[in-house]
Amino acid sequence: MKHFLDIAEISRESLIELLDMTANMAEINRRPVPKVPALRGKVVATVFFEDSTRTRISFDTAAKRLSADVMGFAASASSINKGESIRDTIETLEAIGVDAFVIRHKTGGVPATVTKWSDASIINAGDGANQHPTQALLDSYTIREHFGGQDLTGLRISIVGDVRHSRVARSDIQAFTKLGAAVTIVGPSTLLPSDMTGWPVEVCNEFDSVIGESDVIYMLRLQRERMNSAFVPSLDEYAQRFGLDKSRAKRMRAGSIVMHPGPMNRGVEMCVDPAEIPNSLILRQVTNGVSARMAVLFKLLGAGGIPEDEG
Amino acid sequence: MNVLIKNGRIVTASGERLSDVLISGAIVAEVGTNLAPPDGCQVLDASGCVISPGFVDLHTHMREPGREEAETIETASRAAAKGGYTCVVAMPNTDPAQDTVAVVEFVKLQGERAGLCDVRPSGCITLGRLGETLVPFGALQAAGVHVFTDDGTGVQNHTLMRRAMEYAKDLGIVLAQHCEIASMTEGAVMHEGSCCSHLGLPGWPALAEELMVYRDIELCRITGARVHILHLSTARSVDLVRAAKADGLPITAEATPHHISLTDEQLRGFDPLFKVNPPLRTRDDIEALKRGLKDGTIDAIATDHAPHAPHTKELALDAAPPGMLGLETALGVVLAETDLSLAEVIDRMSVAPARIAGVADQHGCEVAVGSPANITVFDPEITWSVVPEELASKSRNTPYVGRTLKGRVRHTILRGEAVVVDGEAKK
Ligand SMILES: [Zn+2]
C-alpha cells in the first residue's frame, strides 16, 4: 500500500513497525544536524484545503529532514465551497511532478478520493471528522515512549470531549485498541457519535468517574461553534463538566499523563495551565509529530510502502 | 403507419397469454396469435418478451430549463424511452421553477418536440419552492398540471401545508411531498447510522423523514386532500403509510429502485455517486420497502432520476449535489432485486403511477383492442451490466456500474410510434 489514509487499513504489526521507525527518526532528530538524504530528489506536496499551520509545518519539517523537496499549496475553504475542483488542483500539481500528496480537507473522504486521480502516494493529514492517521501514530508513539514496552497493552486511556466531530478520536481509538489499550470515551451524548455499534470502547458521560482510573487522559478540542447548534448549552457548562481543571488534575492517578492534539482551547477543555500538571505530554506530542511524519514519508517513498492489512 | 408486435406475451393479474399485437395509428387494433402484418407494417419481434403498458415515472428530474449541462428534456426523454417509459412526470425544481403557466407550457412543448415520451410537468406547491406563498393551483391545473410538489425540499410550514391541502382538495389535484424536516438534516450527506458515525459524516436521521410523513398523514386526515409521498426510504415510513391506508385515507406512496437495492454502506468509499436525498438507508429499510411494494402499501416505483454533470460529482461529499440516474436501469433493478411477479411489476411501474399522475386514460392501460398504443416490450430474463458511456442520459451518475441487472427493455411504442427498437432510440 503506497498510501496512508486510515488506521483501519493498517495491521497491528505494521503499526508497531511504524512506531519503531518513528523511534529511529526521533534518534535522527536528536542529532546536531537532524537531516538525512533518504528522500533526496522526491517531491512532497502539502495540499491543505483547510487551514492548519501546525500540521503543515510538521509535515514540511519532516519532509525537509529527509531531504525531500516540498511544494506547498493552500486553498482557502471558501473557494472550495464555490465548487473549485479538487481534481483540477491535484492533476495540475501532479503535472509539475509530485511523489506524495499530503492532503487536509474539511470533508471526510477527500484524500481517499484523490487516489483515483493521482499516481502519487497520498497521505491523509486530516479529513473531516473521519481520520487523522499521522496524529494517531504520533500519539501512540508518545504514549509508548512514556510508558515503555512494545505496544500499549494494559493501559487505560480516556478520550474526553467532542468525539462526534473528531478525526483525532476516530484514528486514536483504532490505533490505541489495535495496540492493546482499553479506551473509554467521555463526553455528553450530544458530542458522542449517534450510533457506536461495533466501536471497541467503553462510553462514559461523566468525566469525574474516569479521572482516577486512567493512565492517559486525552483531551479533545471543543470548537467554539458547537455551542451554536445546541451540542452544549454553554462553554462554561462544558468546562465545568468536561474541562480539565486543577481539582481534576489533582485527582489523576499517580503516573498518569495528559495529552491534547492542539490547538488548546484555554478555559474550555483546558482550564489549567499544562505547565502546572506534572505529566503533560502536549509539547512532546508536537516534537514527536515530526518523527512520526518522517516515518510515514520514509515508509511510503523510501521503503516500498506499508503492507496491506490481511485481517 | 402500422406496427405489429410478434410472439410476445401479455401479462395481467389473471394470467398470461402468448400474443401478437397490431397497432394502427395510435390505437391497439388487434390482439391475437398468428396475426399477419398488413402491407408496409413495421414488425417488431417480441419472442421471450412481455408486452406491457408503457411505464410511467412519477419522479423525473429533466433539468431543463436551467441545468442543461446535466440533462435536457430531449436527453431525459430518450433515457426514459430506453427504460420503457412512455410518460414521465417532470419534477419542478428547474430554474426557473415550474410555478408559472409559462414554464409549464415550455416543458410540455420541449417534451413534444423531443417526441420520445409523454412529458407531464408537475407544478411547485409554493412559488420558487421557497415554502412561503402558494402557487396558482387553478391556473396550473388548467394548463394540465395534476401533481404538485416542492420536491428537493418538503413544505416545512405546517399551516401553509394545511392550507395547500384544503385548497387542493377542492381541485382534486395531487400534492406530492418530499418528506424531510430541514432543521434535522442540515449539512447531511448520508443516512445517520453506524456507518455515518464511523465515517464522521453529518447524517440524515430517519426521523427527519418520518416526522413529515406522519404530519402529512394527519393533515390528509383532517383535509381529505389527495396526498402522495415521494421516495419513501425508511421502514417506519412504510408502517405509517400502511396504517394511514388502513384508515382509508387518500394517500399513495412511491419508492425508488435505489432505495430497494443499495445501502448506506456504499458511502464507505466516500463516492458522491452514492449521495442521494433521501439517503441510502439500511438492509432493514430495504426489506421493509420491498414488503411495502409487495403488499401494495407502496403503490409505485418511481426513479427520482437525478442527472448531475460529472464534475459536480467529483466534489467533496458535502459540496456534491445529491441524486443518481434511474430511468434506464429501473426495470433491471426491480426484476433483479424484488420478488414481485411480472403482473405486480407492471402494476407498480405502469398502472398505479398512471393513475396517480392522472394519465390513466393514455397510459397504464391494459394492452387490449381499442387501448392507446403506449406500450413497452421487455425481456424479463436477460441479464446485463451498465456501461455508463452507453446511457442516453447526458450525465453518467449511475450507481449500478459493476452490478448485474435483470430484465431490459427491447421496444418502446409511444402513441403508435416505435421510438425504441431493439434497445436503440429511433430519434
Ligand atoms: Zn425528493
Number of domains comprising chain A: 2
Query: Cell for A267?
Result: 478555559
Evaluate whether residue A308 is within a structural domain. Answer: no
Give CA–CA dist B161/B223, Å, rounded: 10
Q: Are residues A112 and A175 in the same domain?
A: no
CB B140 within 8 A of CB B164: no
Q: Are residues A142 and A256 in the same domain?
A: yes
Q: Are residues A54 and A195 in the same domain?
A: no
Q: Are residues A244 and A272 in the same domain?
A: yes
Task: Say whether residue A311 is in contact with chain B using an 8 A CB cutoff.
Answer: no
Tell me how far CA of residue A9 lies from CA of A167, A171, A307, A309, in angstroms: 15, 11, 9, 6
Residue B388, φ and ψ in degrees, nearest 5: -55, -40
CATH number of A192's domain: 3.40.50.1370
Evaluate whether residue A310 is within a structural domain. Answer: no
Ligand 1 centroid to residue B115 C-alpha, Å:
26
Give CA–CA dist A295/A284, Å, rounded: 17
Strands of B85-90's sheet in order across: B55-60, B85-90, B118-121
Q: Tell me if residue A158 falls in helix, strand or coil.
A: strand
| pLDDT averaged over 10-residue windows placed end to end, chain A, 311 residues | 96 97 97 96 95 94 98 70 76 95 96 96 97 98 97 98 97 98 97 95 97 97 82 93 95 96 93 88 97 98 86 58
Q: Tell me if residue A294 falls in helix, strand or coil.
A: helix
Q: Are residues A73 and A167 in the same domain?
A: no
Q: Do B200 and A166 touch (CB under 8 A)?
A: yes
Strand B404-414 and strand B417-421: the pairing is antiparallel
Residue B412, φ and ψ in degrees, nearest 5: -130, 130
Chain B residues with CB under 8 Å of a chain A CB are 186, 192-194, 196-201, 203, 205, 269-271, 311-312, 314-319
Strands of A257-259's sheet in order across: A201-204, A182-186, A156-160, A216-219, A257-259
Give how far B72 is from chain A: nearest CA, Å.
Answer: 22
Q: Do B316 and A166 touch (CB under 8 A)?
A: no
Mutate which: B69, B198, B273, B284, vs A, most A CBs within 10 A? B198
DSSP B157-202: -HHHHHHHHHHHHHHTPEEEE----GGG-TT--EESSHHHHHHT--
Q: Are residues A15 and A82 in the same domain?
A: yes
Evaluate whether residue A2 is within a structural domain. Answer: no
Nearest to B193 among A81, A113, A195 (CB): A195
Give CA–CA dist B110/B73, Å, rounded: 6
Give CA–CA dist A293/A290, Å, rounded: 5
Catalytic amino acids of A?
54-55, 82, 104, 132
Q: Are residues A204 and A105 in the same domain?
A: no
Name the closest residue on chain B to residue A5, using Cα atoms.
Answer: B269
Residue A101, φ and ψ in degrees, nearest 5: -100, 130
Residue B74, φ and ψ in degrees, nearest 5: -70, -50
The answer to whether the Cα torsion of B30, B33, B39, B40 is positive or negative is: positive
Give CA–CA dist B155/B32, Å, rounded: 50
Buried b (16+ CB within 10 A) or exposed e, B124-159: bbbbebebeebbebeebbebebbbbbbbbbbbeeee
Residue B401: CB atoms within 10 Å: 11
Measured between beta carbons, the chain A residues lying within 8 angstroms of B185 are none
CB B71 within 8 A of CB B64: yes
Query: Cell for A73?
Result: 499549496
Q: Tell me if residue A223 falls in helix, strand or coil.
A: coil
Q: Are residues A59 and A171 in the same domain?
A: no
Evaluate whether residue A306 is within a structural domain. Answer: no
Give CA–CA dist B89/B146, Å, rounded: 9
Evaluate whether residue A109 is within a structural domain. Answer: yes
Q: Are residues A232 and A202 in the same domain?
A: yes
Contact map slice: A 239-268 vs B, CB within 8 A: none
Give how far B318 is from chain A: nearest CA, Å.
Answer: 7
Q: Do B314 and A85 touch (CB under 8 A)?
A: yes
Give CA–CA dist A117/B315, Å, rounded: 13
The answer to whether the Cα torsion of B383, B388, B392, B396 is positive or negative is: positive
CB A192 within 8 A of CB A185: yes
Ligand 1 centroid to residue B254 C-alpha, Å:
11
Give CA–CA dist B168/A142, Å, rounded: 67
Tell me how far CA of residue A149 lies from CA of A141, A152, B159, B311, B383, in angstroms: 11, 7, 66, 50, 57
Nearest to B319 among A81, A170, A197 (CB): A81
pLDDT tens track, chain B, 427 positions? 799 999 999 999 899 999 999 999 999 999 999 999 999 999 999 999 999 999 999 999 999 999 999 999 999 999 999 999 999 999 999 999 999 999 999 999 999 999 999 999 999 999 999 999 999 999 999 999 999 999 999 999 999 999 999 999 999 999 999 999 999 999 999 999 999 999 999 999 999 999 999 999 999 999 999 999 999 999 999 999 999 999 999 999 999 999 999 999 999 999 999 999 999 999 999 999 999 999 999 999 999 999 999 999 999 999 999 999 999 999 999 999 999 999 999 999 999 999 999 999 999 999 999 999 999 999 999 999 999 999 999 999 999 999 999 999 999 999 999 999 999 999 9
Ligand 1 centroid to residue A168 C-alpha, Å:
35
Evaluate whether residue A309 is within a structural domain. Answer: no
CB A212 within 8 A of CB A252: yes
pLDDT of residue A227: 73
pLDDT of residue A51: 87
Nearest to A128 among B200, B203, B312 (CB): B200
Task: Say whether residue A191 is in contact with chain B using an 8 A CB cutoff.
Answer: no
Give the contacts of B382 (CB within 8 A, at least 6 positions apart).
Answer: B406, B407, B408
Instruction: Give the end-to-end CA distance of chain B in Å, rounded to a whole number.
Output: 17
Residue B109: CB atoms within 10 Å: 12
Give the contacts of B330 (CB within 8 A, at least 6 positions apart).
Answer: B55, B57, B83, B257, B301, B303, B349
Complex ipTM: 0.92
What region does B82 belong to: left with phi over 0, alpha with psi -120 to 50, or beta?
alpha
Residue B127 DSSP symbol: G
Q: pLDDT over 70 for what percent of chain B?
A: 100
Q: Are residues A98 and A154 in the same domain?
A: no
Query: Cell for B47?
Result: 419472442
Task: Write out the residue range of the structural domain in which residue A85 sits.
Answer: 7-132+287-301
Task: Say whether residue A196 is in contact with chain B using an 8 A CB cutoff.
Answer: yes
CB A174 within 8 A of CB A157: no
Q: Do B199 and A110 touch (CB under 8 A)?
A: no
Ligand 1 centroid to residue B227 C-alpha, Å:
15
pLDDT of residue A275: 85
pLDDT of residue A311: 58
Q: Do A83 and B312 touch (CB under 8 A)?
A: yes
**Domains of chain B, CATH where assigned:** 54-357 (3.20.20.140)
Q: Do B269 and A195 touch (CB under 8 A)?
A: no
Catalytic amino acids of B?
304
Strands of B226-229's sheet in order across: B147-149, B174-177, B226-229, B251-255, B300-301
- Whether the model clears a pTM of 0.80, i.e. scores above it, the answer is yes
Evaluate whether residue A28 is within a structural domain. Answer: yes
pLDDT of residue A223: 83
Q: Are residues A119 and A155 in the same domain?
A: no
Q: Do A108 and B200 touch (CB under 8 A)?
A: yes
Task: Say whether residue A170 is in contact with chain B using an 8 A CB cutoff.
Answer: yes
Evaluate whether residue A270 is within a structural domain. Answer: yes
Q: Are residues A203 and A270 in the same domain?
A: yes
Give CA–CA dist B345/B409, Å, rounded: 13
Amino acid in the structure at residue A105: H
